């Protein structure tokens, strides 16, 4: 699907990430130091970069990212950080269109976030109406219709649906939903999200029709038009 | 106790040092007294000589002979001596004292010794050479000074011996006492090191220096014992919490090995194993999170947080869960302005979410869960009150421990780490967690322990 550069000093972790991304259909390149990674990111074409925050050799992950941006390179970056190293700079990554993930993480979480980063670049979000199958939401009037029938949603349900509609056909994990819809960072995925999703489902799904929101076991949800 | 141990004790050495210092001071004092007294006695003799001498010295030889002979007849003793010697040293008149062999100076007092009838005598006297070569000697026996000297020296020796004796005895007693106490302490420490953690250092209940030290060390030992129990509890908890899912994983995999015939059956077994392992990892992550929170490193990411907003968000997040159980979940707040706290919004959300989650779990259907926010003068108070069955007083401390599961909660999902996590988050924010009785139900409060730090923004 895309070429991904992994900048990670620990060979074991790098191999595991590479294996997970390859299985997910990506092409993978790896660099062991910040300097090496920066050189490759600047000279080659990548869809996204997975960057460890802590790198040996005097150039840490955030320095690599800053240098990359200073040269005008806009490749989306996913920073891997230890929980204790999550500070304002790491949190600020989301505002800049990048993302971060705390170690240890699950690979489903990594691939789901990478997919969002990759898609964000290819599809600029200028639409005013989002549509999946016969479900439609109008971003301007904030109204939802299914097969022409208007559906009443609570504000939070609307934002949850909007987030799912913005990423059709992509796995969104519970932590991603929690971050995007509730704007808190929760490292422990909570099943309270499931209650919200099931409430949403009850409102938008039609009896007899194939479901639009599907559960991905152990990961999260995916919204797509039935085949 | 061996002698060498005694000699090594500090108090014994100190006692010896004081003994030596006292001895030197006594010697100086004695010497001074001796010199002063001696001078006084000599001065007395010299005064007597000064009174008696001038008259005979000025008289004629005949007069002297007569008066000396009269004196000698009246005074047989040799205490006060008046003698007239011929130029050859022969006694012409007076007391029978042989002429001193070495008259150093004439007309000035001097000390001399004479030997008469096997008796050595010491005198102080004054001699005068007459014109005819005769020598007049007036002298006083120094018996008194000798007596004084002897008494003085014997006093000094006895006193010294007594002082040294008593001093050594005292030093030994003190040293032995200290050595024995130190032996007791050392023994107690050895027992503790060898694993008897409940043992404490012996204390006599006085406020002595060793007792004060023992008190402090015993306090430290209390802490260590508590921590060791906690570590043991955590280790037991981990062992227990891991054994159950690992046993299930193993059983599932073995079953797949035995019976699974199709790829689908294998896939199902793998799915089950992944699900269980994820649970195990979750437990570990929760433990690591608590450890990380206790580190305090996350304070670096602190910023000004509006607690009211966080509370509203948590309540909104949990509303559907509460609705399912028909529990009324509400926010109660004394005033309406923002309640600012320097902290980590996600962690505060997490803490409140954990407490609300528990409250909903342990409150029967149609109950009530209230989040109370209070910005009192003494600090911020966050309270989560429910109408459940509460937590029994003896259990209130235990529920904060990692992996603790009360009887009622043993069969509900969870890993027994929730309250430990909340407690760690609270500590990070300088909040104190307290579990109170809300009759009915339970109220868990987080109270600010000290005034909020000025916000970073």
A20 and B CB contact within 8 Å: no
Q: Is residue B437 part of a domain?
A: yes
Are B94 and B129 within one domain? yes
Rounded to whole angstroms, how far apart are CA atoms B313 and B429? 19
Tens place of pLDDT for every residue, chain A, 227 residues? 789 999 999 999 999 999 999 999 999 999 999 899 999 999 999 999 999 988 887 788 888 999 998 998 889 999 998 776 777 777 778 777 789 988 878 888 899 999 888 887 655 567 788 888 889 999 889 899 988 889 999 988 999 999 999 888 889 998 889 988 988 887 666 788 999 999 999 998 888 788 899 998 777 899 988 87
| 77-116 of A, contacting B, C-beta below 8 A | 83-84, 86-88, 91, 104, 106
Determine if the peptide bond prior to A82 is cis (ω within 30°). Answer: no
Q: Give the mutation candidate from B320, B349, B414 for the A interface (greatest A CB count, under 10 A).
A: B320
Q: Torsion-angle region of residue B430: left (phi > 0), alpha (psi -120 to 50) or beta? A: left
Chain B from 260 to 289: CB within 8 A of any A CB: 271, 274-275, 278, 281-282, 285-286, 288-289
Q: Can you give the pLDDT at residue B318?
A: 93
- Residue B204 forms part of a structural domain: no
In chain A, CATH 1.10.10.10 covers 129-223
Model-level pTM? 0.65
Q: Are B245 and B280 in contact (CB under 8 A)?
A: yes
Same domain, B13 and B160: yes
In chain B, positions 292-321, which contact chain A (CB-CB < 8 Å)?
Answer: 292, 295, 297-298, 300-301, 303, 313, 316-318, 320-321
Cβ within 8 Å, pair A84-B295: yes
CATH code assigned at B381: 3.30.565.10
3-class SS letters over chain A: CCEEEEECCCHHHHHHHHHHHHHCCCEEEEECCHHHHHHHHHHCCCCEEEEECCCCCCCCHHHHHHHHHHCCCCCCEEEEEEHHHCCHHHHCCCCCCCEEEEECCCHHHHHHHHHHHHHHHHCCCCCCEEEECCEEEECCCCEEEECCEEECCCHHHHHHHHHHHHCCCCEEEHHHHHHHHHCCCCCCCCCHHHHHHHHHHHHHCCCCCCCCEEEECCCEEEECCCC
Question: B321, A91: Cβ pair inside 8 Å?
Answer: no
Q: Is B282 domain-assigned?
A: yes
**Domain A3-122 sits in CATH 3.40.50.2300:** yes
Mutation pick from A53, A82, A84, A175 vs chain B, by most beta carbons of B within 10 Å, is: A84
pLDDT at B406: 61
Would the CB atoms of A190 and B320 count as touching at under 8 Å? Answer: no
Shared domain check, B348 and B289: no
**Whether B3 and B135 share a structural domain:** yes
Give pLDDT, residue B405.
63
**Looking at the structure, do residues B248 and B126 belong to the same domain, yes or no?**
no
Q: Which of A83, A185, A192 sits opposite B289 (nearest CB)?
A: A83
Q: Does A218 touch chain B (CB under 8 A)?
A: yes
CB B245 within 8 A of CB B284: no
Q: Which of B240, B260, B295 is the last residue of a domain?
A: B295
A192 touches chain B (CB under 8 A): yes
Q: How many CB pairs under 8 A join A and B?
A: 57
Cα of B318 to nearest chain A Cα, Å: 7
- A156 touching B (Cβ < 8 Å): yes
Q: Which of B155, B175, B199 is the last residue of a domain?
A: B199
Locus of tokens 């005694």: B6
Q: Mark yes or no for CB contact B349/A184 under 8 Å.
A: yes
CB contact under 8 A, A84 and B274: no
**Residue at B265 is within a domain:** yes
Say yes or no: B15 and B50 in one domain: yes
Does residue B454 belong to any structural domain of this protein? no
Owning domain of residue B305: 298-448
SS3 label, residue B197: coil
Q: Which tokens go with B385?
A: 């009150």
Residue B218 pLDDT more than 70? yes
Residues B285 and B312 in one domain: no
Q: How far is B254 from chain A (nearest CA, A)?
A: 23
Task: Please check whether residues B289 and B309 belong to one and the same domain.
Answer: no
Q: Please, which residues bridge with residue A135 across strands? A: A132, A146
DSSP B124: E
Q: Given an 8 Å threshold on Cβ–Cβ distance, is B318 in contact with A91?
A: no
For domain A129-223, the CATH class is: mainly alpha
Q: Is B287 a member of any domain?
A: yes
What tokens does A194 get? 């499931």
- Say whether both B222 and B270 belong to one domain: yes
Q: Which residue has the tokens 């009211």?
A: B308
Q: Verify that B163 and B254 share a domain, yes or no.
A: no
Q: Which two tokens stand for residue B436?
A: 């109170």
Q: In this predicted model, what pLDDT tens digit does every residue of B4-28 receive, in sequence order?
A: 777 777 888 888 898 899 889 988 9
Do B140 and B51 fall into the same domain? yes
Kindly provide the ipTM of the predicted complex, given to two decimals: 0.84
- Let me know whether B38 and B187 are in one domain: yes
Domain count, chain B: 3
């Amino acid at each position: 699907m895309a070429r991904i550069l992994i900048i990670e000093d620990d060979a074991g972790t790098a191999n595991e990430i590479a294996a997970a991304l390859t299985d997910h259909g990506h092409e993978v390149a790896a660099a062991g130091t910040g300097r090496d990674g920066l050189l490759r990111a600047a000279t080659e074409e990548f869809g996204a970069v997975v960057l460890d925050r802590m790198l040996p050799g005097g150039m840490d992950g955030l320095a690599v990212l800053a240098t990359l941006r200073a040269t005008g390179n806009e490749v989306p970056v996913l920073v891997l950080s230890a929980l204790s190293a999550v500070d304002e700079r790491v949190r600020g990554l989301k505002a800049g269109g990048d993302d971060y993930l705390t170690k240890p993480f699950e690979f489903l979480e990594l691939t789901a976030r990478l997919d969002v980063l990759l898609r964000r670049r290819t599809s600029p979000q200028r639409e005013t109406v989002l549509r999946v199958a016969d479900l439609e939401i109008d971003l301007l009037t904030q109204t939802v219709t299914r097969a022409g029938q208007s559906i009443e949603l609570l504000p939070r349900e609307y934002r949850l649906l909007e987030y799912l509609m913005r990423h059709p056909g992509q796995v969104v994990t519970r932590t991603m939903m929690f971050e995007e819809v509730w704007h808190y960072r929760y490292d422990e995925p909570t099943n309270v999200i499931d209650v919200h999703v099931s409430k949403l489902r009850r409102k938008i799904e039609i009896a007899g029709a194939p479901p639009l929101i599907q559960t991905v076991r152990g990961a999260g949800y995916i919204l797509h038009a039935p085949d | 106790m061996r002698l060498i141990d005694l000699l090594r004790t500090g108090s014994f050495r100190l006692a010896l040092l004081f003994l030596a210092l006292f001895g030197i001071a006594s010697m100086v004092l004695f010497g001074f007294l001796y010199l002063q007294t001696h001078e006084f006695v000599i001065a007395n003799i010299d005064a007597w000589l000064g009174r008696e001498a001038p008259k005979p010295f000025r008289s004629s030889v005949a007069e002297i002979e007569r008066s000396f002979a009269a004196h000698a007849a009246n005074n047989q003793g040799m205490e006060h001596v008046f003698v007239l010697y011929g130029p050859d040293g022969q006694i012409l008149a007076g007391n029978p004292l042989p002429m001193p062999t070495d008259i150093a100076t004439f007309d000035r007092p001097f000390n001399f010794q004479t030997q008469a009838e096997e008796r050595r005598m010491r005198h102080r006297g004054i001699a005068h050479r007459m014109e005819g070569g005769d020598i007049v000697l007036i002298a006083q026996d120094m018996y008194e000074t000798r007596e004084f000297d002897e008494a003085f020296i014997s006093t000094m020796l006895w006193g010294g011996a007594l002082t040294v004796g008593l001093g050594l005895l005292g030093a030994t007693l003190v040293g032995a006492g200290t050595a024995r106490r130190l032996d007791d302490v050392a023994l107690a420490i050895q027992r503790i090191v060898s694993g008897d953690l409940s043992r404490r250092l012996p204390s006599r209940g006085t406020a002595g220096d060793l007792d004060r030290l023992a008190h402090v060390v015993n306090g430290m030992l209390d802490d260590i014992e508590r921590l060791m129990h906690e570590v043991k509890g955590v280790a037991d908890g981990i062992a227990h919490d891991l054994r159950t899912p690992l046993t299930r994983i193993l059983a599932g995999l073995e079953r797949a090995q035995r019976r699974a015939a199709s790829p689908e059956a294998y896939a199902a077994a793998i799915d089950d194993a992944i699900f269980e392992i994820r649970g195990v990892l979750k437990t570990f992550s929760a433990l690591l999170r608590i450890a990380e929170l206790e580190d305090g490193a996350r304070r670096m990411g602190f910023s000004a947080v509006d607690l009211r907003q966080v509370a509203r968000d948590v309540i909104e997040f949990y509303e559907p869960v509460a609705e399912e159980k028909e529990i009324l979940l509400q926010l109660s707040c004394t005033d309406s302005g923002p309640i600012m706290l320097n902290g980590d919004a996600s962690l505060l959300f997490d803490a409140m979410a954990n407490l609300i989650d528990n409250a909903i779990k342990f409150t029967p259907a149609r109950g009530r869960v209230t989040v109370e926010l209070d910005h009192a003068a003494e600090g911020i108070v966050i309270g989560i009150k429910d109408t459940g069955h509460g937590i029994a007083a003896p259990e209130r401390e235990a529920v904060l421990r990692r992996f603790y599961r009360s009887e009622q909660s043993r069969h509900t999902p969870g890993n027994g780490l929730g309250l430990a996590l909340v407690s760690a988050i609270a500590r990070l924010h300088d909040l104190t967690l307290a579990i109170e009785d809300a009759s009915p139900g339970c109220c868990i409060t987080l109270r600010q322990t000290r005034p909020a730090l000025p916000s970073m923004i």
